[in-house]
């Protein structure tokens, strides 16, 4: 017997105000620009213009080729591509490279394999040698003279390069960072912003110059912030917070002078990604930047614009939509975490999975849908937890909370978890939780876990930022890498513009009540046309869902109710919620015994796929079994469907993937 697919209403939802720019739009733009740039490649001069322009971004040999190479690598073009290989050779052979070219080369070597490490080391050493410690920056060519005006934009690209080198393990003396810090801090205005001294915006802080100044300070904080004394660190963090506050009050996506719009957007992306910002001045900086990019450079059939602008546009589009590894709940997004916990975890996970990832800050005021874009929410400051009901709703819709705490705060966090999950019994682990051993061994990290027998809802972990960053490979860091990879089911990353696809069957369903866990994970069903009834209240032929977790929930009364309801013409779907227990299997066996019927495998018109836990543990997906009883039928599915229909990743659930669960539900709703 094959049940035909029913008609369903498919709808795309992601909270109120779903982004007007989609993943598909971005991918199309990336492909269009990539194609245009590849078509412009010349075998002799690569992407350099025939006649060098007067603009500083591309007037020196090799800079246009280097920028284009970096952008194509960022967009996923292989460095083994003949055009990229030729470009790499071309920029390396440039004699007396400008400071800007050397900075771009460093960023290129930093994203290439270890075979380019010598080039990375040599260019970094040369860039530092050409820097003026007195002025905290570079000339375009050579070392600046004493009275020379340092371009804040050249300084910005120099810091970005040194930051990339630092992240690849190149040691950079603190004196260089301090020199840049002093120069940047000296130029910062009292309002927190920066101005471009040699342009018409002199004396007035502007978005592009504030972004340039911020990139310098953020690079310094990331690279040597922990090596600063307390006073210097406080001064640096205060300057960053003031700059972020200025940006949140005055920042704009529109160009404000001093540089090209696309290079500004690229620099803004560097700031926003480094700080976990999803908005600037209450607007999504990435969505607005995409709109500006599409308007300026994407025609109906092909990309348009200068090679330099297309390269910066490609960098912005490809880097800015990186998958989100995690989020952190904070009181204010301008607050600086001196240990940069979220950034540190994200970098470790990126290295582990070989995928460029991002992270984001969240506040209590943002929507639950925004919270659900990342696999879990980190909380380091328990005081940000205010609206308990909102956190409960977040968990019901598939979210997970991880709290880091030590000392008295540890007990406070455990108390909070008990308040949020009053009906769940806490379990303590020091090892043997999946967070201790999923991908890396991380024993002796204390976990207090609130698990509803389907999935972990809250983890309180003993530890803090200092302990996390004390060692590059601390047990706490390894545990958080496991948690991040587990909650995303190893590789089911969501980009910044991800929109959750949901569907609503046109046929009404009934959730049948019984003495067991019938109401676990019902958030997805409650968005449909569902009713919750006792079996005695089901008097007409209906589609009835009976869910449970473990075998011990099966009672004679439940089996009798299922059989009698089916005899009246109802279709009963029995599900093992979470898939780790065998509620449905046990029910099927007892129903078969009571009715003297043989369960029949239900053919599926598609090849089902499983969840991350299912795949890693090589568990097979059980075939739905059907039993005809009177005028109705009973279908048992001994794995999870309903958690999958939340379209949220989690670890520990055995069952169908979202797409397979959707198709199966469509089939069963006939």
For 194-210, write each residue's pLDDT tens digit.
987 644 345 789 899 99
Q: Tell which residue, 364, 158, 471, has the closest CA to residue 166.
A: 158
pLDDT of residue 24: 94
pLDDT of residue 53: 67
Half-sphere exposure of 216 (CA within 13 A, CB side): 31
Provide DSSP, 37-103.
HHHT-BTTTBT--SS--SSTTTSSTTHHHHHHHHHHHHTT--TTSHHHHHHHHHHHT-SS--HHHHH
pLDDT of residue 14: 34
- The backbone region for 273, taken as left when phi is positive above 0, alpha when psi lies in -120 to 50, beta otherwise, is alpha
The mean pLDDT value for 90-117 works out to 96
The mean pLDDT value for 365-380 works out to 94
C-alpha distances (whole Å) from 476 to each of 57, 70, 349, 471, 480 are 43, 34, 13, 9, 6
pLDDT in tens, 527-561: 888 999 999 999 999 999 999 999 999 999 999 99
Say what percent of the chain tops pLDDT 90.
79
Whether residue 504 has pLDDT greater than 90: no
pLDDT of residue 621: 95
Whether residue 521 has pLDDT greater than 50: yes
Q: Do residues 64 and 50 touch, judged by C-beta distance below 8 A?
A: no
How far is residue 378's CA from residue 330's CA, in Å, rounded to a whole number? 9
The mean pLDDT value for 108-112 works out to 97
pLDDT of residue 56: 58
How far is residue 339's CA from residue 464's CA, in Å, rounded to a whole number? 9
Give the chain's mean pLDDT: 91
SS3 content of the chain, % helix, strand, coil (to 5): 45, 15, 40
pLDDT in tens, 305-317: 999 999 999 999 9
Whether residue 526 has pLDDT greater than 70: yes
The mean pLDDT value for 511-519 works out to 97
How far is residue 330's CA from residue 364's CA, in Å, rounded to a whole number? 8
Tell me the pairing of strands 377-379 and 426-429. Answer: unpaired
pLDDT of residue 662: 92
**Angle at Cα 434 formed by Cα 429 and Cα 439, nearest 5°?**
130
Q: pLDDT grade, residue 18 (50/70/90)?
A: very low
pLDDT of residue 131: 96
Q: Do residues 512 and 535 touch, judged by C-beta distance below 8 A?
A: yes
CB atoms within 10 A of CB 375: 28
pLDDT of residue 598: 95
Whether residue 45 has pLDDT greater than 90: yes
pLDDT of residue 197: 66
pLDDT in tens, 70-91: 999 999 999 999 999 999 999 9
pLDDT of residue 54: 64
pLDDT in tens, 134-193: 999 998 887 888 777 788 889 999 999 999 999 999 999 999 999 999 999 999 999 999
């Amino acid at each position: 017997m094959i049940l035909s697919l029913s008609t369903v209403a498919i709808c795309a939802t992601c909270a109120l105000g779903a982004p007007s720019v989609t993943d598909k739009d971005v991918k199309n733009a990336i492909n269009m620009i990539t194609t245009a740039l590849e078509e412009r490649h010349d075998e002799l001069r690569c992407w350099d213009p025939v006649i060098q322009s007067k603009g500083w971004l591309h007037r020196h040999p090799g800079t246009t080729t280097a920028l284009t190479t970096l952008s194509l690598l960022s967009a996923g073009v292989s460095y083994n591509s003949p055009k990229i290989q030729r470009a790499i050779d071309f920029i390396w052979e440039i004699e007396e490279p400008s400071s800007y070219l050397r900075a771009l080369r460093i960023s290129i070597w930093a994203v290439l394999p270890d075979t380019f490490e010598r080039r990375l080391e040599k260019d970094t050493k040369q860039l530092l040698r050409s820097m003026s410690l007195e002025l905290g920056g570079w000339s375009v060519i050579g070392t600046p003279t004493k009275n020379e005006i340092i371009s804040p934009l050249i300084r910005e690209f120099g810091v970005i390069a040194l930051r990339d080198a630092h992240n690849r393990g190149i040691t950079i003396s603190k004196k260089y960072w301090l020199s840049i810090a002093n120069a940047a801090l000296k130029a910062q205005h009292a309002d927190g912003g920066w101005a471009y001294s040699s342009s018409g915006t002199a004396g007035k802080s502007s978005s592009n110059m504030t972004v340039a100044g911020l990139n310098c300070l953020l690079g310094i904080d990331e690279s040597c912030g922990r090596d600063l004394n307390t006073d210097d660190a406080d001064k640096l963090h205060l300057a960053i917070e003031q700059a972020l506050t200025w940006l949140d009050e005055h920042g704009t996506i529109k160009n404000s002078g001093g540089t090209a719009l696309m290079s500004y957007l690229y620099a803004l992306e560097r700031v926003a990604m480094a700080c976990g910002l999803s908005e600037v001045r209450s607007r999504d900086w990435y969505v607005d930047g995409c709109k500006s990019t599409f308007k300026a450079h994407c025609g109906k059939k092909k990309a348009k614009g200068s090679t330099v602008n297309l390269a910066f546009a490609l960098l912005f589009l490809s880097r800015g939509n990186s998958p989100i590894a995690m989020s952190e709940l904070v009181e204010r997004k301008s607050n600086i975490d001196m240990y940069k916990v979220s950034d540190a975890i994200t970098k470790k996970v990126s290295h582990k999975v070989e995928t460029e990832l991002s992270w984001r800050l969240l506040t209590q005021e943002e929507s639950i849908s925004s919270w659900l874009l990342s696999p879990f929410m980190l909380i380091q400051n328990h005081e940000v937890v205010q609206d308990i009901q909102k956190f409960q709703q977040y968990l019901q819709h598939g979210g997970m909370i991880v709290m880091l705490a030590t000392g008295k705060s540890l007990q406070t966090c455990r108390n909070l978890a008990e308040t949020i999950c009053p009906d769940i019994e806490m379990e303590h682990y020091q090892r043997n939780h999946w967070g201790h051993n999923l991908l890396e061994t991380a024993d002796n990290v204390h976990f207090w876990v609130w698990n509803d027998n389907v999935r972990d809802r809250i983890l309180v972990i003993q530890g803090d930022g200092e302990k996390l960053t004390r060692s590059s490979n601390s047990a706490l860091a390894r545990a958080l890498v496991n948690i991040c990879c587990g909650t995303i089911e190893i590789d089911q990353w969501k980009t910044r513009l991800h929109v959750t696809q949901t569907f609503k069957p046109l046929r009404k369903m009934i959730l049948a009540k019984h003495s067991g866990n019938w109401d676990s994970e019902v958030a997805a069903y409650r968005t449909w046309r569902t009713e919750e009834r006792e079996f005695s209240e089901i008097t007409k032929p209906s589609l009835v869902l009976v869910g449970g977790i473990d075998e011990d929930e099966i009672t004679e009364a439940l089996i009798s109710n299922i059989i009698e309801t089916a005899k009246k013409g109802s279709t009963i779907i029995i599900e093992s919620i979470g898939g780790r227990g065998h509620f449905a299997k046990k029910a099927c066996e007892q129903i078969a015994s009571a009715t003297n019927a043989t369960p029949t495998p239900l053919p599926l018109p598609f090849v089902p796929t499983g969840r991350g836990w299912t795949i890693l543990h090589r568990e097979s997906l059980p075939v739905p079994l059907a039993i005809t009883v009177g005028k109705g039928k009973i279908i048992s599915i001994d794995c999870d469907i309903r958690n999958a229909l939340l379209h949220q990743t989690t670890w520990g659930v055995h069952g169908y993937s979202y797409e397979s669960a959707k198709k199966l539900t469509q089939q069963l709703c006939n």
